A and B are shown apart, each in its own frame.
Chain A
């Protein structure tokens, strides 16, 4: 089998996509990208609005209603609020990064692979950080619930139910983090190293 025959096959009409579908696909793809960018921006704005309202209410309770929120007894709520703001900042960072231009499209393939390996290493560090944050979240939720009961805002039954639900949610998040680390990020690092090694062979 000579390369000329392969070349003819490659250049033939059967190896070109349908022009009309190409046009439609491009239009649909661009419309879809715009819709997703808009939805994500709205989602982040709604979260920010909710958190601002929560923060405002907490600040009002502290400043205008002496005894409304006792930090020494209900500090867990403030920690939970702070963690929520950090989580929102991470989501916003992710949103901006997604829309940002490609890091360096002019880089050579090995340089791109090395950059991806750096990115992978950073992602693994970020996942570890998130795992710690979720652990802290669990502590904050527990503290908030115990303090709410001590302050007479909740009964033990309510504390137990809320604790169970929040504990389950955080356990699920932790599971997702572990899955991401061991099923995606670690194998990806190995695969990228293998691709890069191809350049060193021969």
Chain B
């Protein structure tokens, strides 16, 4: 196993959660395994460029959000598509013990998917606990601009949730 594979393996053990969440936030349910596979491939490709001056989680967020924002469904029909994730997806997503929580989470993801890609990214990064500064560095925006856009994105999210007849 070479250095890249070793690093990728270690990262996925600890941070695959991030990629799964981004897949659920950016792709329609049927396409989520394809996006996850694309994100994993993007991280594997980027692994040798990691400089170590930030936490791996920050780096993975950066690579994955860059990929997710430009992703679209049919891209995964490329030759490289393996179907590995497709086979494991059902076992990967474990429902919460409380079915109501699972339902709420699904509705939250559905609401996030209704936002524009940039707003989706801002909301997900914020939910992942990243600071405005970190989000700004990723998106090339000032902290102030992130604050303003995030506020607007949260309002849009709230509206999207409200649109759902039953709400959360």
Where the two chains meet, the residues of A that have a C-beta atom closer than 8 Å to any C-beta of B are 1, 3, 5-7, 9-10, 12-18, 21-30, 32-34, 36, 98, 100-102, 104-113, 116, 184, 188, 191-192, 195, 198-199, 202
Contacts and interface: CB of A to CB of B under 8 A. Distances in A.
B150 to A, nearest CB: 10
A15 B88 contact: no
Interface string B85-113: 10010011111111001101100100000
A51 B49 CA distance: 36
Contacts of B158: 1
B80 A36 contact: yes
15 contacts: A1-B168, A3-B154, A6-B108, A14-B101, A17-B17, A18-B92, A26-B12, A29-B37, A101-B46, A101-B49, A102-B42, A106-B62, A109-B138, A112-B69, A195-B69
User: Which DSSP category, helix, strand, loop or mixed, fits chain B's interface?
Assistant: helix
Contact of B105 (A3, A15, A116, A202): A15
Nearest to A23: B13
Contacts of A109: 65-66, 69, 118, 121, 138-140
B13 A21 contact: no
Q: 6 closest Cβ contacts across the A-B interface?
A: A14-B96, A108-B140, A102-B46, A105-B46, A26-B12, A198-B118
Given A14-B105, A28-B88, A108-B140, A98 B80 contact: yes
Interface string B44-63: 11111111000000010011
A177 B6 CA distance: 38
Contact of B62 (A24, A29, A105, A192): A105
Interface residues of B, number: 70
B152 A18 contact: no
A202 B92 CA distance: 38
Contacts of B168: 1, 5-6, 9
Contact of A15 (B21, B47, B80, B118): B21
Nearest to B137: A108
B96 A12 contact: yes
A174 B11 CA distance: 42
Contacts of A184: 74
Nearest to A110: B140
B2 to A, nearest CB: 10
A29 B40 contact: yes
Contact of B84 (A12, A32, A112): A32
B27 interface: no
Nearest to A33: B44
Contact of B94 (A14, A98, A112): A14
B35 interface: no
